[in-house]
Structure 1
Amino acid sequence: MSSNGGSVTMQDVASLAKVSVKTVSNVLADYEHVSEKMRERVLAAVAELNYEINVSARNLRTGRTQVIGLAVPELSQAYFAELADAVIRAAQERNYTVLIEQTTTGGPDEIATVAAMRRHAIDGVIFSPFALEAGDLGSLDVDFPVVVLADRDAGSPADHVTMSNREAIKATTNHLIDSGRSRIAVIGANPHDPIGTAAMRFRGYADALGEHGRQVDDALVCSVPLWHRADGAAAIEALIEQGTPFDAVVCFNDALALGAMASLQRLGRRVPEDVAVVGFDDIEDSRFSTPTLTTISPGREATARTAVDSLVRRIEQPELRGEPVDTAIDFQLVVRNSSRSTSPLP
């Protein structure tokens, strides 16, 4: 408490720290041109007096709310829920709060949803697209910084954090080939997505086959409307009903893979003895499935931290304008029991 019995004021902090009120204000605003010794003295006084920063007043001074948006397609999908958790933790370290919006519709409506997030008085947005077409991001005309979690789209004004979709699926397919699998199906292709994530992952699958002298067999390509467990299960049922022989399945996410494994086991196919299964995302369920799921770990923590750091830099240093920046995040193939080596089918 202050000497007059009222609430602790910034003047009280300044008096205890033996500095000016302006110095206290600079420290609390995280102004960079303050010596570390001075910063420690002010923060010690803040702690001793239990001074509570007036966030509203600070926001009026800086023109910022310390709130960022995260736009994702579906929180019901484990990958996006775990991504949101990682973004929230990374933002908290930078003293930002995260507001989450779902963009499930895709296309122009998806862009409109992101643009409308401004009504929540946010400082910027991290945007994970669902089903954009070429050039869509060029129409993202907003007055706040945006970081996109996807490969660069022509005309996009935003920073991008990318994952190696093509190389990652190529690695999983090579793993299956090296393990002796000869008829490798793929689940997750989307004929209406010529440039997006599904297209890049399908190219990785085709690349691996081609490097081993194999061609893509259309009978082994399963197009699905969504990447949910039910879609993976239905794709397996269709393959078996059609009598298509296969001894491995590359799934474009873990949800598809978990659904595929459930159908295989229900229909009497052993995993991995009869059919090996691999996924993508390394969600928590993949470590506890039966058998445990081989998958791609796409560097979710690094993606979240990089995206938050990039967005905060754009928010807090608007003078550092320039060309949009792309940052690639490394992946890791995590081999588990669902794809252990076995002899190829005769």
Structure 2
Amino acid sequence: MKTVSNVVRDYPHVSARTRERVQRAIDELGYRPNMMGRRLATGKTGLLTLAFADVGIPYFAELARVVSRAAEARGYRVLLEETDATLDGERGILASSEAGLVDGMLFQPSVMSSTEIARHRSDLPIVLLGETAAPLTVDRVMIDNVAAAAEVTRHLIAAGRRRIGFVGHEEPALSETSRQRIMGYQSALEEAGLQPDAGLLFPSASISAADAAAAVGAALDRGASFDALVCRDDLAAIGALRALHERGLRIPEDVAVTGWDDIRLAGMMFPSLTSVAPDLDALASQALDMLFERMAGFDGMGRHRIAPHGLVLRESAP
């Protein structure tokens, strides 16, 4: 049984002759691993859950792809769960995690408090992703949103921009993600001796390109003046580009625009989009490392780790 498992998982230390014999038997029998059988034999299902707000948001779709590939390399498959960024949805994910269907969970909460997450106690190992405050007892991986927002704002200042707006944060209540990104944006302005202006904050009715376009368009129509925009995410940047084009403004000559997440479409936009790029491979690797340690029995205090990020410069803010 162990030899078959080693071949199926592509374990390197199997002789070529043994691998060929096992693979021939697999092909002849049409064998496929059985999850219930695996659970009975090993106590493990070979499945993990990745839970987040909305797979329709490009960042989450790309995160799911990276996590799935990294988990597959470790012999695991990933089930996706959407919470719709609601309290009931997030509570439901944690409650259902006790059903024994998976061995561990990566969870990016949007609205649950760290206190409520800490109160949830089950035998299922959990690692949190993202910026929402995490309990001291639970592992979490994120990028430094404050530092990244300051970095992209400094880039615009170094390019000579002085009236820099921020686009795409939620209205009326800020998420923790938006709060941290605005904090970094403001700190870079103050560091450069530029006075932060509340009139250059353009909130969006939802996290979408259409609502960001509406917010930027409304600001321009009422006479707002700016020469650069830091966008909360690439969707907001795509909306901003459309609103600027519709009003005849040149990018980047009149207004430079930056996004966040560096989704695969960012390089194909016209103009192509300068964007903050989280290192998703590193984030997934760190999160899975900690999750597998929890699954192996580690029961210490939570480890809170920072994954790297970069700034990809393109035509919208060269």
Q: TM-score, normalised by structure 1?
A: 0.82
Structure 1: gaps spanning 5 or more residues: 1-24, 31-35, 341-346
My pick for the range that moved more, 163-172 or 140-149, is 140-149
Q: Report the Cα distance in structure 1 between the residues aligned to 2:85 and 2:131, rounded to whole angstroms.
A: 19
Q: 1:109 to 1:96 in 2, by over 3 A?
A: same
Pairing 1:178-217 to 2, within 5 Å after superposition: 178-190=158-170, 196-217=176-197
Question: Are residues 1:57 and 2:37 paired?
Answer: yes
Does the 8 A contact of 1:185 with 1:221 survive in 2? yes
Deviations 1:144-181 (A, max 9, x none): 01111124735353211111111111111000000000
User: Considering only aligned residues, what root-mean-square deviation do their CA atoms show, in Å?
Assistant: 2.5
Structure-2 residue corresponding to 1:12? none
Deviations 1:257-283 (A, max 9, x none): 001001100111111111000000000
Q: Report the Cα distance in structure 2 between the residues aligned to 1:46 and 1:314, rounded to whole angstroms.
A: 32
Structure 2: gaps spanning 5 or more residues: 7-11
What is the Cα deviation at residue 189 of structure 1?
Answer: 3.0
Q: 1:37 to 1:216 in 2, by over 3 A?
A: closer
Q: Give 1:116's aligned amino acid.
A: S
Report which of the two structures shows the higher radius of gyration computed on alpha carbons: 1
Does the 8 A contact of 2:126 with 2:139 survive in 1? yes
Q: 1:74 to 1:37 in 2, by over 3 A?
A: closer
Does the 8 A contact of 2:66 with 2:280 survive in 1? yes
In the comparison of the two structures, how many residue pairs are matched?
310
SS of the residue corresponding to residue 71 of structure 1 reads: strand
Q: Percent identity over the alignment?
A: 34
What is the Cα deviation at residue 141 of structure 1?
Answer: 3.0
Deviations 1:271-325 (A, max 9, x none): 111100000000011000000000011111221232223223322x12x321122
Pairing 1:258-277 to 2, within 5 Å after superposition: 258-277=238-257
Does the 8 A contact of 1:174 with 1:208 survive in 2? yes
Q: TM-score, normalised by structure 2?
A: 0.88
Q: Give 1:312's aligned amino acid.
A: F
Pairing 1:149-188 to 2, within 5 Å after superposition: 149-151=129-131, 153=133, 155=135, 157-188=137-168
Q: 1:134 to 1:313 in 2, by over 3 A?
A: closer
Does the 8 A contact of 2:171 with 2:206 survive in 1? no
What is the Cα deviation at residue 130 of structure 1?
Answer: 2.3
What is the Cα deviation at residue 108 of structure 1?
Answer: 5.2
Structure-1 residue corresponding to 2:308? 330
Q: Give 2:317's aligned amino acid.
A: S
